[in-house]
Amino acid sequence: MSLTEDQLISALQKGDEHAFKWLVDTYQHMVYNTILGIVQHPQEAEDVAQEVFVQVYQSIAGFLGKSKLSTWLYRIAITKALDWERHKKRKKRFGNLLFWSTNTTDAIENCADFEHPGWQLNNKEMGIALFKAIQQLPVNQKIAFVLHYTEELSYKDIAEIMAVSIAAVEGYLHRAKQQLKTALSTYQQ
C-alpha cells in the first residue's frame, strides 16, 4: 500500500483502519527515536509512542494540513515526551517526600545509565555520558540536538517543527554542541 500524504490524511479522517496501520508502520521508528532521545528509557519511550498514535487517531479530524504530516507527528511526539519528563520530575519531587512509593524511584534510577541501542558498542561509557549530558540541556537545545543528531533532520525542518527561525535553531545547536563537547572532552581520544 502506497499513498500520497493527502490521500493518507483523507483516509485517516474517514477512519480507515488500513491507512492508520500504514501510518504507524511508516512513522513508528521516527516517533520512537525522537521520544527515546528525550525520555531515555526504551519501555517508557514505547508507552509515550503509543500515546502519540492514540492522540493522532483521535485528533486527525482536526488536522488542517497546514504543515507536513511528519512535522505534526514530530510536534506531538515532542510534546508528549516533554509532558512525560515533567510528570517524572514531579513524581521524583514527591517521591522524595513519600518514601513508600517505591515504583517512582525505580523508574528514575533506570534512566541514570541509559545506553542508546544505536550507540557503538566499543565506546559505551561515552554514549552513557552523552545522553546524561543531553538530559542536562535546556529544553530548546535538547529538542534541536535530538532532532539533528538522532533524526538527522535539516535546520529548516527543525525550525519548522519547533516553530522558530533557522537562525534560532543554529544558535540552539551551537550552544548544545559546545555544552556537550565540554561534558565529553574527557572521552575524546
Partner 1 sequence: MTDKTQSSIRETEIFWETMPHIQRATMPPYFYTRLQAKLAKSTQKQNSVTNQLWQQMIQPKMAAFIFTFFITIQMLIFANLQPTATLSAKSNRPTLEAFAEEYNFTFSSYNYTKK
Chain residues binding partner 1 by CB under 8 A are 21, 24-25, 28-29, 32-33, 36, 42, 46, 49-50, 53-54, 57-58, 116-120, 123, 126, 149-151, 174, 177-178, 181, 184, 188
Plot region of 98 (φ>0 → left; ψ -120 to 50 → alpha; else → beta): beta
Grid coordinates representing 6 are 493527502
Query: In this structure, are residues 187 and 125 in contact, taking their beta carbons and an 8 Å threshold?
Result: yes
CB of 82 to partner 1, least distance (A): 19
CB of 19 to partner 1, least distance (A): 13
For partner 1, which is the closer residue by CB, 95 or 157? 157
Give the C-alpha separation, 68 to 56, whole Å.
14
CB of 64 to partner 1, least distance (A): 23
Give the C-alpha separation, 108 to 144, whole Å.
24
For partner 1, which is the closer residue by CB, 95 or 158? 158
For partner 1, which is the closer residue by CB, 130 or 161? 130
For partner 1, which is the closer residue by CB, 13 or 50? 50
Plot region of 15 (φ>0 → left; ψ -120 to 50 → alpha; else → beta): left
CB of 76 to partner 1, least distance (A): 14
For partner 1, which is the closer residue by CB, 91 or 175? 175
CB of 98 to partner 1, least distance (A): 27
For partner 1, which is the closer residue by CB, 105 or 133? 133
The Cα diameter of the chain in Å comes to: 55
CB of 149 to partner 1, least distance (A): 7
Task: Provide Rg for the chain, Cα atoms.
Answer: 18
Place of cell 550507540: 119
Grid coordinates representing 21 are 496501520
176's enclosing H/E stretch is helix 166-184
